[in-house]
Structure 1
Amino acid sequence: MGHNSLKGCFGICLVILFFSLSASRADALSVAWGGDWKTLKSEHFEIHFEDGFQEMARRCLAIAEGVHLELLPFFGSGPVKRTHIVLSDDTDFSNGWATVLPYGRIRLFVAAPSDPGSLESYDEWLHLLIRHEYVHILHMEMGRGAVNAGRKIFGRFPLLFPHVLTPVFLLEGMAVYFESDAVAGYGRLQGSHYAAQMALEVRNGNWKDLQEVVVPLRNWPINKAYLYGAFFIDYLISVYGKDAVAEFLYRQSGELIPFFTLNFQAKRVFGKIFPALWEDFRLAMEERFADGHSEGEGMEERMLPSGNFFHQVTAVAGDDFFLVEDSGKDRRRLFRYTEKGREPIMALRPLSDMDVAEDGRLAVSRILRSVDGRVFHDIFIHMPEVGWKRLTRNQRFSRVRWMPSGESLLVSRQQAGLSELYFLDMEGSMRLLWRGSEGDVLGAFDVDAAGERLVAGLKRAGQGWNLEIMDLATGGWSGLTSTPFMENQPSFMPDGRILFSADYDGVYNVYVMDTETGMLEQWTRSSGGAFSPGFAGNKGLYYQAYTADGFRLMRVDHPAALKAFPKEDVAGEKISPFLFDAIENLGSERKYSPLQSLRPRYWFPVWLSSGESSQLGFETHGSDALDRHSYGLMAAYDMKNDLVNGSLTYACDNRWLLLLDRSHRFGEVRVGEVFWDYTIREDRVTLQRNHLLNFFEDRLALHGGLVHERDTLVDAPSVFSRVSMESNLAGMALTFRDEEHYIHVPGIGWGFYGELIAESNEILDSDYKGAVVQGAIRKIWNLPGPRTLGVRLAGGYADQEAKPFRIGGTRTGEEMRLFGRNEAVLRGYPRSVQTGNIYAAQRLSLTSMLFRVERNWSLMPFGLGDISGSIHVDSGSAWDEGRAMRQLTGAGLELHVELVLGYHFTAPLVLGYARGLDKDLGEDQFYTALGFSF
């Protein structure tokens, strides 16, 4: 093996390290650019937050210290060093993640859940979130015996954390179990939605076996690692006790190869291996959830064609019902439902809410992902004769309703942990209507036909979800319900009654309330849950039913009361008092410094041997608490050739990138009848500044870069002069990216990408001269079902004294670079089959999903996800200016197999065949490639 093998090994090591950045499987991105960040410390935690969040940070420390005291007895030990908490308000979604690598870190997203689902059952969002994520920290930190001895030598190397390398359903199941409180009645195991989900899994014959739950990728239910994991841990504790589960964790925490000891340790502690425990668990769930009412009993409902799988965004305007179909296979599309069926209206970008005015104008809350790391919502309106108009920028309004006059909108958001309501006019001017107190969370809302009242689902601090009415003239609230149940997603019916979803019978169903009499009517009887109800006048009731196969759109033409009762029958209070006292005598607040957490926390040896070299070295990695700065370092000494190889990668946000690499290439040259060995040292430095300027919702971006390359002949016989060639390119690149990914479509599901790159050898001293200009465009069409058609066109021109282009081969190693590229792929031909100062390449490909396996091999660390295939035709040529172009064409097949290794890593394996159609230069190529993602 040559130098490329060392690079590959280093890449694999970094993948193993990076996977653990998100124990909760969330996006482990750095915090958004900018901000004045501060730091506070308590006994066991260090919290980082933006200026202005001081009180929330102190509250988080109080919660975290209280949770630490509660959970420590079960896990037996805690982190030796303080756990870092990052308090983030740069996304509108409710989430968090935790990792112990390279040190203990928790990321908290401030925005609280506000819709029925699984997360709405909480006393206080930050308490639930900290509790869940800190369970991950305590769980994954566990170590004993040889594991702890290894940590003393190598530091926090990923393979020395056995519970990091454990199936996701055990990690998430433990966290969901401990986030839930049966006495206070909060947490997912105490909510109605989890119970309904598990009941459907049992009753409808969709029970997932152990091999399916170990690989929780894309099959329904999407949250199966959490769902099955939580009930499984609950089952183990109820049958064997907490001490037994704690003992299993303790024993497993000393295993250096934990993948192969799970069954052994389970047998020792529980008396059974995991497959037998899973069968007992299935029987227990069948006994627990066997009874239940029949779906739709007493109703005349029908299922309508709609985007299956996901919960869809809907709206009602008079007698018209609208739905945004998001099937996970095709572009999101707005449909209007009529008596004749459904009428397609337009394609839409990702959105969270919408409303339709009487004149047909559409108001939507769109999800916008900025290059600075923020994920915010903004309001757009669509006018049939004009098109789209953006009303807000970075204002975070995630819900929208037209006022009856059609002259303004009512919009809501969460910002800095506070819920707010605003009036928004057609010019984008905003007027604050209401701002909640700390702990108040506003859910879905609606405005009555007169524009005088608003009804909303509202969670007050220390209470559950109830319905409240606001007088829009005064901004004053009045309670409509006061119950221990979850009531949300309300809307006004034409006769003034309130339509909403609630879990009065333990499952979310649709109810109607007469606000004058206080009488309630139940309109649906769903076994999985009825959500987002909408009454479309003469067209009846629409709602979305959670089923064992996904969400389905249902319609009841003539809804009638299945049951009627006064609201006093469900009255009561759900009080969740905050239990942890504020911390006194915290350390003084200081300005955040990345240097405090950036040092490397581990090292690990790297050894590679081949006929050409024998290399021994080490690798390490580091990142700061905000994940804004990260680096990877590898250094190796080639003992056979007395050479040093190494690489350093440093990234700051997604703006700055620095790559330094030194490697050696060995070869042989023939001079006459004599073969001479030679060694070339390859040095490469890349400095890249991304996103100098951004336009069009950050889809168009300008980047800059410097690339230094130097090839030096360091070992050659005396017949050669010791020469080197140096290239110093400075360039600018313009990129445009507008692409979408769909859960059921391999690769990119739809979109366009284009790039134009201009580089020069004249700005810095270089052995090459002149300019290099190249560009590419890629268009992906979404075909019916899980398949796509793609076209790629690329070309370039280099001055005669610049480094020439090379074309050929199945991969070049330059595919991910933006600057310094001079090779192009042409499958079916050897690498560098043609060279020249001009090149052109074309590609046509058809890609389709073939199989979705999504199963693991028992508890072994090997599984399969999706298997897809593609057919491609490539053509291209490289030639010198003034000479004739010889076009080369090849065709082939690729099979893409998604391997799942170690429960967490997805490793796309490509098996390809290509044939060059040129009878002189073409060849048959069989090739493989293996990548990693997580």
Structure 2
Amino acid sequence: MKPTIRSLLVLLFLVIFFLAAVGWAQYSPSLRWKTLRTPHFDIHYVAGNDSLALRAAYIIEEEVYPRVTRYFNYLPGRTDFVLNTCVDIPNGFAASFPRRMEVLMDFPSVPFSAYSDSDWLSYVALHEFVHINHLYMARGGFANFLKLFGQMNLVNAMTSAWFLEGTAVNLETSCTTGGRGRSTYHRGKLWAQLAAGRLGNLVRDGNFLPNSLPRDKPYVTGYFFLNYLRQKYGDDIIMQVSDYYSKFPFLGLNWAFRRKTGKWVGTLYKDFLKKERQQMQVYLDSLPANPQPYIFRTNERLEFYGKPLWLDNRRILIHCTSNEEFPTLYRIDLQTGRKRRVKRLSVLPSQCNGLANNKFYYSWVRPDPLYPSQIVSDIYELNLDSGKVRRLTQNAHLKSPSPSPDGRQIVAVRNEKGYSNLVLLDLESNPPGVYQLTHFKRANTLNPCWSPDGETIAFCLNQQGQQALYTVSRNGSNLQKRLVLPHQLQFKTGILLPTFTPDGRTVIFVSNFRGMENIFAFELETKNLYQLTFEPWGAYSPAISPDGEKLAFTAEDADGRHLVVIPMNRQQWKAVPLLKIRLEEKYSIFTKKEIPTYFRLDSLRPAENYNGLRQLFPPKWWLPMAIADSRGGALGIFSFPMDALGKHAAQLMVVYNPKTEKPYGNLFYRYAGIFPHPKVHLYSLPVKRTYWSEPGSYWTRYSGGEI
């Protein structure tokens, strides 16, 4: 064997061994975790985040637990609650095995929740705890049957996605001052599909399907449909249907709706669509009859364009993603309509990126190659001339980069465990230095951008229930609140994605001040406010051409999000009146006074070091199983216990055949708290073997252990 081949085989063996050793690890073994025990939750967090854990304890016990359990009249039992500060993605999820919920501590910059005046942690935790209730909720004889298998209810997990997610979004909106139900962004996605005639079947409209829009159908359709039923049948209709379904799950969700409303789900859904069409028509009639003409517009289906960046007065640099290819950066010529691919990206850049000196700056939320639950956002630079990509920061938790006009500095948003502030990157040093620009407490900064002279930075701030437009000097001084828009009726009004005009006197931004998200202009000196676009389903990511004569943005419709260019004609700017259309909604299920205050932070014991091993035994769930042996078969149970952080995992099987009076078993254990991860395997199983010298076979016991 040649030395090169031998070396490659040895290297391949080492790689396989290395990957096998870390295959089940979720977090780095170097992280030290602690546990704060509350009356109903075990809150797990990385050491050093004690204030965050106390805030989570207050939210989950004072605001979330009493509201959800009172609404469903069900107590799901003790739940693990993981605060993941190692991820720069705003999200959360709930799981059955083990029973836990996890919140990824980052604040979103997209419209559905960036307008919220509620704590991000509050309504995400409530959303996931609703799922915990759904997953384990069981009544009557069905509940007694499930006790045979421990803490497990796979039936509820198979409920229609629109009902699971629609219920969670309804409760997150009704029981907090935030939630996606207060966002016109979701309403626009629903109405875009309705106007295109693509809604009519709840199975198709309320579940995740390939090549189908919107991509979050269960959340959108489920919320508005169930909210319609709450208005018609009362706030507790979701609880009544859930209660009946938990008693008789095998009769189906459709039968539960029939019993509680007198109608099948399909009939109720048709009534809902009829009312939505009426409200949509009222909204469409309120729009101007003659919007500004398009200079350019893309029309491809299932394509989603990001933020446009002007290369010059006729060419735009923009990234696009679709179901058929990876995110790709394109150069579009507005005169010829030609779209030329610049570079295929391995990841979708954020909606906030920048361009300076023919270099494209973007943030990439990159997962750790060894530990999938650690995903950190960093800033990257793409040289458009050479096509080379350079990583500017290492595990810095930075996103939304905006380069200064001279290309010497970048302003970006730094995630600070659910809150955020602005920082400056000095590109003239190697590696780039990072300097704090703002020092807000319990606030979130969003979408920074530079003025044309490079002296001022505009950004959006979400703090204490108010979202406003701010400016600050590049050295951190002269911080000014420029504009605050009041909430309009039941919707939360926000300001996002600001950008300066070339003369620096006007800030262009996105807001839902008049219903759906559209683009507005605010003159800094005169303080006049104008509306520039009237897209029926939303306009985003504005960008002004260098000569100030064209406005590029992205527009939402039933086929995706498209690039649009219109003339910047100040004569057609509309002074902003208040919204006159009231879209009837109903939100509050509980008020603060209706929930008794019983939880006190000073009653908690000090946090203790995380101990995942005690979560494994005894197993909390099990399933029946059978294996073949010499006397027909042996019956027993199987379980796969795991702790909340994935440090400890085991596979346990115990079976017994009364004919042979022989027990069999299999135990596998893996520990990911150190590297490499030790594994222990003990087994004693029946095995059927074949004779070597003569035909036939025989049964024997195969016992042993491996480390």
Q: What TM-score range do you get, normalising by the shorter chain?
A: 0.7 to 0.9
Bigger radius of gyration: 1
Query: Paired residue for 1:429?
Result: 432
Note the 1:376-455 alignment, pairs <5 A: 376-383=376-383, 384-385=385-386, 387-426=388-427, 427-455=430-458
Shift in CA distance, 307/165, structure 1 to aligned 2, threshold 3 Å: closer
1:446–1:456 Cα contact (<8 Å) kept: yes
Q: CA deviation at 1:140?
A: 2.9
Task: Name the aligned partner's letter for residue 323 of structure 1.
Answer: I
Cα drift, residue 663 of structure 1: 5.3
Distance 1:640 1:325 in 2: 66
- Partner in structure 2 of residue 216 of structure 1: 208
Q: 1:136 to 1:358 in 2, by over 3 A?
A: closer
Matches within 5 A, 1:449-598: 449-460=452-463, 462-484=464-486, 485-496=493-504, 497-538=506-547, 540-560=550-570, 562-565=572-575, 583-598=601-616
- How far off its partner does 1:447 sit? 0.5
Matched with 2:698 is 678
Counterpart Cα distance in 1 of 2:468 and 2:39: 38
Alpha-carbon deviations, 1:654-698, whole Å to 9, x = none? 963747466555466696xx74233466679776xxxxxxxxxxx
Per the alignment, residue 102 of structure 2 pairs with 107
Counting only pairs closer than 5 Å after superposition, residues 516-915 of structure 1 correspond to structure 2 as 516-538=525-547, 540-560=550-570, 562-565=572-575, 583-599=601-617, 600-607=619-626, 613-637=632-656, 646-653=665-672, 656=677, 658=679, 660=681, 666=688, 675-679=695-699
- AA aligned to 1:448 is S
CA distance in structure 2 between the aligned counterparts of 1:685 and 1:352, rounded to whole angstroms: 50
Secondary structure class of the residue paired with 2:553: strand
**Which moved further from structure 2: 48-57 or 644-653?**
644-653
Does residue 206 of the first structure (1) align with residue 198 of the second (2)? yes
C-alpha separation in 1, matches of 2:447 and 2:438: 15
Query: Contact 1:543–1:554 (CA<8 Å) still a contact in 2?
Result: yes
Q: Secondary structure at the match of 2:534?
A: coil
Task: Return 5+ residue gaps in structure 1 as ranges.
Answer: 1-27, 571-575, 688-934
Displacement, 1:223?
0.7
Shift of 1:307: 8.3
Aligned-partner Cα distance in 2 for 1:432–1:620? 51
Q: Secondary structure at the match of 1:221?
A: coil
Cα 1:611–1:569 shift into 2, 3 Å: closer
Contact 1:523 1:561 in 2 (8 A): no
2:157 maps to 1:164:
yes
Structure 1 residues 609, 212: closer, same or farther in 2, change over 3 A?
farther
Cα deviation, 1:824-849, whole Å, max 9, x if unaligned, reads xxxxxxxxxxxxxxxxxxxxxxxxxx
Aligned partners of 1:670, 1:111: CA distance in 2, in Å?
Answer: 63
Would you tell me which structure has more helix in proportion to its own residues? 2
Q: Distance in 1 between matches of 2:114 and 2:159?
A: 24
CA shift for structure 1 position 65: 1.5
Give the Cα–Cα distance (whole angstroms) in 2 for the partners of residues 633 and 666 of structure 1.
22
Aligned mates of 2:558, 2:678 — CA distance in 1 = 45
* SS of residue in 1 equivalent to 2:461: strand
More strand by share: 1
Distance 1:307 1:288, change over 3 A: closer
1:91 aligns with 2:90: no
Instruction: Indicate the residue corresponding to 1:281 in structure 2.
Output: 272
CA-atom RMSD in angstroms? 3.2
In the alignment, what sits opposite 1:144? 139
Match of 2:317 in 1: 322
- Residue by residue over 1:485-514, the C-alpha shift from the partner in whole angstroms, topping out at 9 and shown as x without a partner, is 211100111021211111111100111221
Aligned pair partner of 2:253 in 258, 262, 275: 262
Cα deviation for residue 324 of structure 1 reads: 1.3
Code of the residue aligned with 1:553 in structure 2: it is: L
- Helix, strand or coil for the counterpart of 2:162? helix
Contact 1:96 1:106 in 2 (8 A): yes
* SS of alignment partner, residue 282 of structure 2: coil
Given that 1:378 and 1:396 are in contact with CA atoms closer than 8 Å, whether structure 2 keeps it comes out as: yes
What is the rounded CA distance, in whole Å, between the counterparts of 1:621 and 1:223 in structure 2? 31
Letter in 2 for 1:656: H
Cα deviation, residue 569, structure 1: 10
CA deviation vs aligned residue, 1:725-764 (integer Å, no higher than 9, x gap): xxxxxxxxxxxxxxxxxxxxxxxxxxxxxxxxxxxxxxxx
The separation in 2 between residues aligned to 1:415 and 1:306, in whole angstroms, is 38
Distance 1:315 1:52, change over 3 A: farther
Gaps of 5+ in 2: 1-23, 487-492, 581-587
8 Å contact 2:625–2:638 — kept in the other structure? yes
TM-aligned CA deviation for residue 440 of structure 1: 0.9
Matched, 1:123 2:118: yes
Shift of 1:614: 1.8
- Deviation string 1:88-127 (CA, Å, 9 cap, x unpaired) is 1111110011234443x22111111123245643421111
For residue 209 of structure 1, what is the amino acid of its counterpart? N
Structure 1: how far apart are the matches of 2:650 and 2:280? 50
The answer to whether 1:187 aligns with 2:195 is no
CA contact (8 A) 2:130 2:171 kept: yes
Cα distance between partner residues in 2 of 1:295 and 1:681: 81
Counterpart check, 1:247 vs 2:240: yes
CA–CA distance in structure 2, aligned partners of residues 185 and 663 of structure 1 = 57
CA contact (8 A) 2:556 2:562 kept: yes
Q: Which amino acid in structure 2 is aligned with residue 330 of structure 1?
A: E
Letter in 2 for 1:374: Q
Q: TM-score, normalised by structure 1?
A: 0.64
Question: Cα distance, 1:175 vs. partner?
Answer: 0.9
Q: Indicate if the aligned counterparts of 1:117 and 1:193 stay in contact, CA closer than 8 A.
A: yes
Please say which of residues 498-507 and 411-420 is displaced more in the overlay. 411-420
Decide whether aligned partners of structure 1 residues 567 and 397 sit closer, same or farther in structure 2, where only a CA change above 3 A counts.
farther
Paired residue secondary structure (1:398)? strand
CA distance, structure 1, for counterparts of residue 443 and residue 474 of structure 2: 18
Aligned mate of 1:304, from 298, 307, 322? 298
Q: Which amino acid aligns with 1:55?
A: S
Matched, 1:37 2:33: yes
TM-score (norm 2): 0.83
Match of 2:170 in 1: 177
In structure 2, relative to structure 1, the CA distance for the partners of 1:32 and 1:282 (3 Å cut) is farther
1:49 aligns with 2:30: no
Change (3 A) 1:263 1:402: closer
- How much has 1:253 moved relative to structure 2? 1.3
Maintained 8 Å contact 1:353/1:365:
no
- Rounded to whole Å, the distance in 1 between the matches of 2:352 and 2:169 is 32
1:470–1:477 Cα contact (<8 Å) kept: yes
- Please give the secondary structure, in 1, of the residue aligned with 2:236: helix
Give the secondary-structure state (helix, strand or coil) at the position aligned to 2:601: coil
Q: Please tell me the residue identity of whatever aligns with 2:644.
A: A
Quick one: distance in 2 between partners of 1:418 and 1:242?
A: 33
Relative to structure 1, the CA distance from residue 415 to residue 343 in structure 2 (aligned partners, 3 Å threshold; closer, same or farther) is: same
Higher-RCO chain (CA-CA 8 Å, sequence separation at least 6): 2
d(CA) in 2 for partners of 1:134 and 1:665?
A: 45
Q: Measure the CA separation in 2 of the matches of 1:454 and 1:578.
A: 39
1:361 matches 2:359: yes
- Give 1:589's aligned amino acid: A
Note the alpha carbon deviations across 1:616-651, whole angstroms, 9 max, x for none.
121012111223322222233466777765544444
Cα separation, 2, equivalents of 1:567 and 1:295 = 13
Query: Quick one: distance in 2 between partners of 1:35 and 1:545?
Result: 43
Residue by residue, what CA displacement relative to the aligned partner does 1:259-294 show, whole Å, maximum 9, x if unpaired?
Answer: 433233222211122222222222232233233336
